[in-house]
Chains A and B, each alone.
Chain A
Amino acid sequence: MLRNYLLLAWKVLLRRKFFTFISLVGISLTLATMLVVTAIIDYHANPPRPYTKQARMLFVKSVMGKSKDFTTINEPHYGFHDKYVRPLPGVEKFSIQTESTFITYPNGQKTTLTAKIVDGVFWEIFDFEFLEGAPFTEDDNQQRRMVAVVSEKTRQRYFGDASALGKSITLGSKTYRIVGVARDVASSLSVSGDVWYPVSIDLTPKDRTGVLDEGAGGFTSVILANNASDLPSIQAAFQAMLPTVKFASSNIEYMQAAAETNFGVQAQMFFGFDSEDKDYGKRDNATRLIALLMALTLGFMALPAINLVNVNVSRILERASEIGVRKAFGASSTALVGQFIVENLVLTIIGGAIGVLLAEAVLLWITSAGIFPNAVFHVNARVAVYALGMSAVFGLLSGVLPAWKMARLPIVQSLKGGINA
């Protein structure tokens, strides 16, 4: 039966070229828009290298500190990550980072460089691709060796096409020997940077012992678990640890924070930081963001869906006599609803496929125009499955209602030409 429906759908769509064309334009444009947005979100939710192990990663970034008089939301000190987060059970690898910007003048050109100041384990958690040399090690970090990794772009700025290995780069008052060149990653990913050097070099005693609100803070950390399934228990251990934190030199009484997945971190950034937020660190921001995105998607699709419902109603009304005839010759209402739904699904899925092609073209353009520097966007398998699902929902939404309405119409009335005839 399905084969008949498909064949019939094909014949009808070919025969009604104008309707088919108009519907396909509407469906494919809507889906293409959604796909472009989805692909960009997907890229950031499931980023490429160096986030290969992202499914096993948790991030500790901004925390909230509460005192009688004030609330602060800040990235904590090195000491907090080192003393409280590092020892949590289930943590396989652990890395602490901070960042800084430097204004430099390579070849007389004023340049602002973002320096990521990291330990050696950082390079074991994030699998950067090295064009030259290798990352510095944890031993380099411990021994405070004056070494640095630069990005592809930084190498270009300083040395043109020549090798950077063994050459030096001066940041502020310090000069580092370049040991590796890492391929650029999209600058919209938080791991991106222009230059990396060992965190121990700059650490002050205050950084090492401080927790929160004693001086600058500004450190973040990444946890790598053995298994993605270990993440919830690590998150629970993190929450259990928070009440044990001792605040050395301030009147902060307690803190709220979370060890979040990369997507969770981005969701928190999306929702913003509010010092009035009583549930800071306790909320599932990732789920909240996904719910919001789904709601937006539905809202965005509602208009074209309603439009398609309208087009379908009039299209099906036009075919009242066909419905009457089919029923007269033995079609059940279910068979007719099936036929119209298949017709609509074929239409929306073809629309979806065109939408995928359109979206891919737009993403190619976004990539080459550098709107998100260094990011390469595609409609990948995950996004394509999502697209297919969305077009199917779209097809069902816009097909079921009119089909059902029409199939319920008494035969004699259908034969006379429909509801108003």
Chain B
Amino acid sequence: MTLQHAQTLTKAAVLELAGIEKIYRTDSLETVALANINISIQQGEFVSIMGPSGSGKSTLLNVLGLLDAPSKGVMRLHGMDVTKLKENAIAQVRNQEIGFIFQSFHLVNDLRVLDNVEIPLLYRKGLSGSERKQLALEAVQQVGLSSRTKHFPSQLSGGQQQRVAIARAIVGKPKLLLADEPTGNLDSAMGDEIMNILHTLNREHGTTIAMVTHDERLAAQTDRTIRIFDGQQVA
């Protein structure tokens, strides 16, 4: 297939997965975490991923985010086959294109809010310290935490921590945001706050979002729901 052809084929698709399979092998055990997944996510879409516990949602999101390599299948990001890239190139793609939000926030406890938010920019070339700081301040402002930049994560509520994590995910202005149960550790009021931020990002900045959730109510607010059962795509 020529590059030209590949590009016309995947015109508006941010992500395209074809025949993706993920098998975890240990000495005695073989777990098929994902089998024959075919997904296409369009530019500007807000997609939710649902399924029972252990069905492979996180595995799928990790594959989508290039955090984990599939055992089989092809994946294209903006039309580019990313399954063949080397480790450092993948790291750069993640840095430029993707932002992550985790269920348990994964903030660096030793660093203040602003330093946490700056992390993705550290691995981007050509940014000065003051530029990084400026961008981090903007991101923190977007999640409404401008008054907490000097706090350590342990000094914040769960909802605030997740907002810091969102600021970190968007500071590099990625086109794709991946969130693994972002409200899973939060009460519903805090969860709604987070959802509001995600919706705003999606609507006002055109950020494409894929979000794993257990909550039908939250899934209903998204454009489309992908359902996974036992590693298989059921809808």
Give chain A's interface residues, CB within 8 Å of chain B: 3-4, 8, 11-12, 15-16, 319, 321-322, 324-335, 410-412, 415
Contact = CB atoms under 8 A, between A and B. Distances in A.
B108 A325 contact: yes
A324 B108 CA distance: 10
Interface of B: 62, 65, 67-68, 87-88, 91-92, 94-96, 99-100, 102, 106-111, 115, 119-120, 122-124, 129, 152, 168, 172
Given A325-B119, A412-B68, A330 B110 contact: no
B115 A329 contact: no
Contacts of B115: 8, 11
Top 4 A-B pairs ranked by shortest CB distance? A330-B95, A330-B123, A329-B120, A15-B110
A329 B110 contact: no
A4 B106 contact: no
Given A15-B110, A411-B68, A329 B87 contact: no
B134 to A, nearest CB: 16
A326 B96 CA distance: 13
6 contacts: A11-B115, A325-B108, A329-B120, A330-B123, A415-B102, A415-B106
Contacts of B123: 326, 329-332, 335
Contact of A328 (B67, B96, B109, B110): B67
B82 to A, nearest CB: 14
B74 to A, nearest CB: 20
B111 A11 contact: yes
B87 A4 contact: no
A411 B67 contact: yes
Contacts of A12: 110-111
B110 A4 contact: no
B26 to A, nearest CB: 13
Given A325-B107, A330-B96, A330-B124, 14 more contacts: A4-B129, A11-B111, A12-B110, A15-B110, A15-B152, A322-B110, A324-B106, A327-B91, A329-B120, A332-B123, A410-B68, A411-B62, A412-B62, A415-B106
Given A411-B68, A415-B102, A329 B108 contact: no
A330 B68 contact: no
B92 A330 contact: yes
A416 to B, nearest CB: 10
Contacts of A334: 88
A330 B95 CA distance: 4
A412 B111 CA distance: 22
A328 B88 contact: no
Contact of B88 (A4, A15, A332, A415): A332
Contacts of A411: 62, 67-68
